[in-house]
Each structure stands twice: as structure tokens, then as C-alpha cells.
């Protein structure tokens, strides 16, 4: 019997944009077990909710993670709105979704670039990031920030995008679309991409359910779960929403789901720009959350379903705020897919799951 | 598809670089850029609402000395202070502050009000 060895992987590793540590138990070249260890970038942000009032805290939630920044401020605001029974004006709801979907485009392009870099396709990596830059440009034009948008607050949004600027955004996205089609074809039809990703990190539909994985990781295993299909907030304005699925269950399927979601998000923005109603941007939020009141809300982040919980105590400070992020759901699935894979496939395996460690550790 | 992406790469060889050679090429500010906070100190009533609301504790007000102080190294450009100021004396200007050689705060002194003419 081959001898067992333990190889430490991470927390600093070229394929890991963020620190997570895995102890890989290997036999020959085959991984028998992966033991994860997290907590390298824990910042205790949830505890800060007791120090900052519920309206200012939105600035902290936005800084949980640099990729899902807008999503977290949106999720937090929606939770407080449920907690206090605030009705958000329709224009604000739609603007929120536009920014959120643009965030998804930039997050997925970032990930596609990292994946291409991971399997050594440098040209593809640079093209993805070049396109992503235009989305960041839109953010800068509309909110003044490329990463931290500071556009969402409890009750609505704090800045508007004029209707002609919205049409300008659609024109920019239409310009990106043609170039993106070339990249999409390369991801989905190029033999070198398929050779590297097919059969990597198989997770069957049953196992995906068992491990409770979320987002594109689940959808690539054929689980039709996408919170956007419930039509919450601005998504209610959409004519129809169908989650993008694949039942191939491997790394290639995850790549395909995310690559196609970029086009889907562009379509959503285009449709919403046509339908955006006029009106107020923010509802007045007065008072404090009642003592003992609790609220939950769910949001589809680029990496999957994110769950928010808040509890009030009658003052302007919250008693408790908690986020369950998609990456913490996905870690269990990731460790499972690692069992039995080749050591050389470990980086690809981690990348196709796209763990966001900042969100996970907050 | 291999051909298409090669074509894209070749086109990039002939086009302008996608990145900017900062600071040789200057930063273009948009009208929305959040550069730095400024206070029109004459309008300020030193009420300290901005100090209480600032999530980064970057502000300080001294009523006795009639000063309003900002620590630009703590400020995260969130604009909370600009929104809450009852006198609209704060504003977010698009220019980034120049590179500093030491970590100092910026203090504005509110001029003494002229005594009402009888
Ligand atoms: S809130 Fe406005 S008026 Fe009050 S101290 Fe701050 S800057 Fe001055
Ligand atoms: S912009 Fe935000 S961080 Fe900066 S001084 Fe104003 S409230 Fe504080």
C-alpha cells in the first residue's frame, strides 16, 4: 500500500486570491482527504453592529468583501427594511437590481479571468479583465467608486442614474456583448479549456443537495435554485427569469453556468432600463427596530444564495446581525469534490468553486 | 474560436493600452468621484451631528475652540456626514488629496461672528 503523506496547501498559494488552508492527505498522487482550515482574515465585522447605528452600519457591510460589496449593502438594507416594515420606492428597487446585476457581471468576469489564468490561458485572462474594466468604469461614472459603490442605504438608494445615462449603460453593455461572445465561445468550444476542466470535481445532484451547496456550484449540478426567480424587489419587474442550469456536474459545467450568467445579467439590465419607473429614490426611515423584532432576507449573490438575519433591541443599535454566505455552504461541497482527485487538479477544483473567503470569514 | 481570440489579441497589439500610466497620465475625475470632504466652515454651526454619524470616527468638533477637524487617513469617503449635515455646509469634492508626507489632520477654524451692529 502506498504511503500516506500530508501536503499543506495555502493559505498563500498562487491560485488562491484569498487565504484558505487545506491539508491534503495524499496517497501517491491522489488526494484521499482534504481538511480545510479557515479564519485567516476574520475581522469581526458582525460584532460591530453593536457599535454603529443601523443606518451607518451599511457602510461596514459594503466592506465585507470587495467583489460582493454592493450585494452585501443591498442584503443588509433589505433585512432592515423587513425588520422595520419600510416600503422601498420602485425606482430605487430597480436601480438596486441594475447595480447588483452589473456587480455580477464584474464578479463573473473576474472569476473567468482567474480560471483562465489558473489553466494557463493568459490571453483569455487579460481579455476577461479588460472587459471587466468597462463595468468598473460604469460604477465609477454612476457612483464615484469602482469597488465600494456607497449607493444603497436603508430605505432605498442615495443616488440616481438619469434615464439617458441608463441608456448609455445599455450601449456600453451592447458593445461588450460582441467581444464577450468571442470569449464565451473560447470558454465553451475551445478544446484546451474542455480538456482541462471536463470531469474535474464531479458533484452529483444528490450529493449537491446533501452538502447544501449554493449558486452556480449547485446549478451546475442540475439544482434549479436561484433566489432571483422568486422575483423579490426589482426582479419582480422582469418579464421572466429562468436560472441557467447544467447537469454535467463537473468543473466545465460550472464554467459554462457562470459564463452564460454574464449574458443573462446583461439582458436583465437591458430589460430593467426599458421598464424603470420614475419616482422617489428613498423612503423615510424613522425610529429604531422594536425590541425582540427579528427579520431574515435572502439574496442571490454572484456566488449563490446569501442569508441575512437581524435582531432589534429597541435602540438604534441592532442586537445581532448575521450573514450566512454562499461560500461557507460551498466549502463542504468543495472538500467532498477533492476526495479522489489528482494533486495537479486541486487548484482547478478550488477555482471552479470560486470560494470568497472574505465573505465567509467577515 | 482559436482564430477569433487570436484576432482579438492581434487587434490589442495595435490599439491603445487598456491600462493607464498613472501619474504620467492624469486621473480623470467623474462628476461623482468621491475625493475628499470639505467644509464651508462659515455655514457650519459646530453641532457635531456629523461627528456622531461618521462610521470611521474621522471627524472631531471642538465648540470652545470653534474648530472642525477631519482626519483624512481615517475617512472612507462614505458621504454620511455630507448627507446628515443640517446646514449643508459639508460637500464631497471629486479631487483626491495630494500625496501626503506625514499623517496629519486638517482643522478648520470658524471665524468669530461679528457682533451685531446696534
Ligand atoms: S453636521 Fe454640519 S453644521 Fe454640524 S458640525 Fe458637522 S459640518 Fe458643522
Ligand atoms: S465621508 Fe464618511 S468617513 Fe469621511 S468624514 Fe464623512 S462620514 Fe466620516
Q: In chain B, which residue's Cα lies nearest the Cα of A179?
A: B8
pTM of the complete model: 0.86
CA of B48 to the centre of ligand 1 (A): 6
Residue nearest (by alpha carbon) to ligand 1 atom 2 = B85
Site residues for ligand 2, CB cut-off 6 Å:
B 37, 54, 56, 58-59, 70, 75-81
Specify burial of residue A351 (Cβ count, 10 A radius: 0-12, 13-18, 19+): buried
Q: Which residues of B touch A133 (CB under 8 A)?
A: 18
Q: Are strands A30-37 and A21-27 parallel, antiparallel or unpaired?
A: antiparallel
CA of A125 to the centre of ligand 2 (A): 36
A129-138, A174-183, A214-223, A226-235: least confident range: A226-235
Question: CB distance A56–B4 less than 8 Å?
Answer: no
pLDDT at A1 over 80: no
- Please, are residues A323 and A349 in contact by the beta-carbon 8 Å criterion? no
Ligand 2 atom index nearest CA of B53: 7
Digit-coded pLDDT (tens) for A227-260: 888 877 788 878 878 888 888 888 888 888 888 8
Q: Measured between CB atoms, does A52 come within 8 Å of chain B? A: yes
Percent of chain A with pLDDT over 70: 100
Question: CB distance B34–A185 less than 8 Å?
Answer: no
CA distance A262 to A271: 14
User: What structural domains does chain B harbor?
Assistant: 40-111 (3.30.70.3270)
Q: Flag whether the ipTM exceeds 0.85.
A: no
What are the phi and psi torsion angles at B91 (to 5°)? Answer: -145, 155
pLDDT at B117 over 60: no
pLDDT of residue B118: 47
Q: Measured between CB atoms, does B102 come within 8 Å of chain A? A: no
Q: In chain A, which residue's Cα lies nearest the Cα of B53?
A: A56
Q: Measured between CB atoms, does B15 come within 8 Å of chain A? A: no
Query: Mind telling me how many Å the CA of A70 is from chain B's nearest CA?
Result: 13
Query: Please, which pLDDT band fits residue B115 given cuts at 50, 70 and 90?
Result: low
Digit-coded pLDDT (tens) for A253-287: 888 888 888 998 998 898 888 888 888 888 888 87
User: A51, A145, A57: which is closest to A99 by C-alpha?
Assistant: A145
User: What structural domains does chain A harbor?
Assistant: 4-353 (1.10.645.10)
Query: Across the interface, which of B18, B80, B83 has its CB nearest the CB of A133?
Result: B18
Ligand 2 atom index nearest CA of B79: 1
Pocket test for ligand 2, best of B75, B89, B91, B107 (most atoms within 8 A of CB): B75
Which residue pairs, CB below 8 angstroms and at least 24 apart, start in B108-114? B108/B39, B108/B41, B108/B44, B108/B67, B108/B68, B108/B69, B109/B41, B109/B65, B109/B66, B109/B67, B110/B41, B110/B42, B110/B44, B110/B46, B110/B66, B110/B67, B110/B68, B111/B41, B111/B42, B112/B66
Query: Please, which pLDDT band fits residue B114 given cuts at 50, 70 and 90?
Result: low
Digit-coded pLDDT (tens) for A64-103: 888 888 889 999 998 988 888 888 888 888 899 999 999 9
**Sign of the CA dihedral running A106, A104, B4, A175:** negative
Question: CB distance A186–B33 less than 8 Å?
Answer: no
CA of B79 to the centre of ligand 2 (A): 6
Q: Measured between CB atoms, does A315 come within 8 Å of chain B? A: no
Query: Mind telling me how many Å the CA of B45 is from chain A's nearest CA?
Result: 22
pLDDT of residue B1: 52
**Sign of the CA dihedral running B11, B13, B19, B22:** negative
Mean pLDDT of A323-335: 84
For chain A, give the mean pLDDT: 85
pLDDT at B2 over 70: no
Query: Across the interface, which of A56, A127, A144 has its CB nearest the CB of B32?
Result: A144
CA distance A200 to A203: 9
Mean pLDDT of A220-227: 84
Mean pLDDT of A119-144: 86
Q: Which residues of A touch B5 (CB under 8 A)?
A: 123-124, 127, 182-183, 186, 190
Q: Measured between CB atoms, does A195 come within 8 Å of chain B? A: no
Digit-coded pLDDT (tens) for A175-203: 888 888 888 888 888 788 888 878 787 88
The three-state secondary structure class of A215 is: helix
pLDDT at A117 over 70: yes
Amino acid at each position: 500500500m502506498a504511503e500516506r503523506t500530508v501536503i499543506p496547501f495555502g493559505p498563500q498559494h498562487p491560485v488562491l486570491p484569498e487565504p484558505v488552508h487545506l491539508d491534503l492527505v495524499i496517497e501517491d498522487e491522489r488526494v484521499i482527504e482534504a481538511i480545510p482550515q479557515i479564519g485567516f482574515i476574520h475581522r469581526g465585522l458582525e460584532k460591530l453592529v453593536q457599535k454603529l447605528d443601523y443606518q451607518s452600519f451599511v457602510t461596514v457591510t459594503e466592506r465585507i468583501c470587495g467583489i460582493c460589496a454592493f450585494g452585501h449593502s443591498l442584503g443588509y438594507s433589505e433585512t432592515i427594511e423587513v425588520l422595520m416594515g419600510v416600503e422601498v420606492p420602485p425606482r430605487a428597487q430597480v436601480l438596486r437590481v441594475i447595480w447588483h446585476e452589473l456587480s455580477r457581471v464584474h464578479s463573473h468576469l473576474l472569476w473567468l479571468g482567474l480560471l483562465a489564468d489558473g489553466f494557463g490561458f493568459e490571453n483569455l485572462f487579460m481579455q476577461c479583465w479588460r472587459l471587466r474594466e468597462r463595468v468598473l468604469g460604469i460604477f465609477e461614472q454612476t457612483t464615484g467608486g469602482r469597488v465600494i459603490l456607497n449607493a444603497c442605504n436603508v430605505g432605498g438608494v442615495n443616488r440616481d442614474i438619469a434615464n439617458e445615462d441608463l441608456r448609455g449603460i445599455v450601449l456600453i453593455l451592447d458593445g461588450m456583448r460582441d467581444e464577450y461572445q468571442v470569449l464565451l465561445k473560447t470558454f465553451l468550444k475551445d478544446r484546451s479549456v474542455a480538456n482541462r476542466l471536463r470531469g474535474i470535481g464531479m458533484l452529483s445532484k444528490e450529493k449537491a443537495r446533501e452538502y447544501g451547496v449554493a449558486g452556480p456550484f449547485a446549478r451546475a449540478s442540475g439544482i434549479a435554485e436561484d433566489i432571483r426567480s422568486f422575483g423579490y424587489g426589482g426582479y419582480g419587474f422582469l418579464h421572466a427569469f429562468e436560472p441557467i442550469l447544467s447537469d454535467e456536474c463537473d468543473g466545465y459545467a460550472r464554467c459554462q453556468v457562470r459564463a452564460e450568467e454574464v449574458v443573462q445579467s446583461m439582458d436583465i439590465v437591458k430589460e430593467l432600463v426599458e421598464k424603470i419607473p420614475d419616482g422617489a429614490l428613498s423612503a423615510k426611515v424613522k425610529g429604531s427596530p422594536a425590541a425582540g423584532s427579528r427579520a431574515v432576507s435572502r439574496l442571490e449573490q454572484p456566488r449563490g444564495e446569501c442569508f441575512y438575519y437581524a435582531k432589534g433591541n429597541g435602540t438604534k443599535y441592532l442586537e445581532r446581525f448575521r450573514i450566512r454566505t454562499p461560500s461557507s455552504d460551498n466549502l463542504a461541497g468543495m472538500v467532498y469534490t477533492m476526495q479522489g482527485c489528482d494533486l495537479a487538479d486541486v487548484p482547478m477544483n478550488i477555482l471552479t468553486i470560486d470560494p470568497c473567503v472574505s465573505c465567509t470569514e467577515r | 474560436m482559436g482564430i477569433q481570440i487570436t484576432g482579438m489579441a492581434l487587434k490589442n497589439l495595435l490599439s491603445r493600452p487598456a491600462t493607464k500610466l498613472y501619474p504620467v497620465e492624469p486621473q480623470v475625475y467623474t462628476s461623482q468621484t468621491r475625493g475628499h470632504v470639505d467644509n464651508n466652515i462659515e455655514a457650519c454651526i459646530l453641532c457635531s451631528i456629523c461627528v456622531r454619524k461618521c462610521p470611521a470616527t474621522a471627524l472631531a468638533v471642538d465648540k470652545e475652540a470653534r474648530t472642525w477637524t477631519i482626519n483624512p487617513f481615517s475617512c472612507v469617503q462614505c458621504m454620511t456626514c455630507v448627507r446628515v449635515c443640517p446646514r449643508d455646509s459639508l460637500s464631497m469634492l471629486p479631487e483626491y488629496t495630494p500625496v501626503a508626507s506625514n499623517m496629519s489632520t486638517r482643522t478648520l477654524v470658524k471665524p468669530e461672528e461679528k457682533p451685531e451692529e446696534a
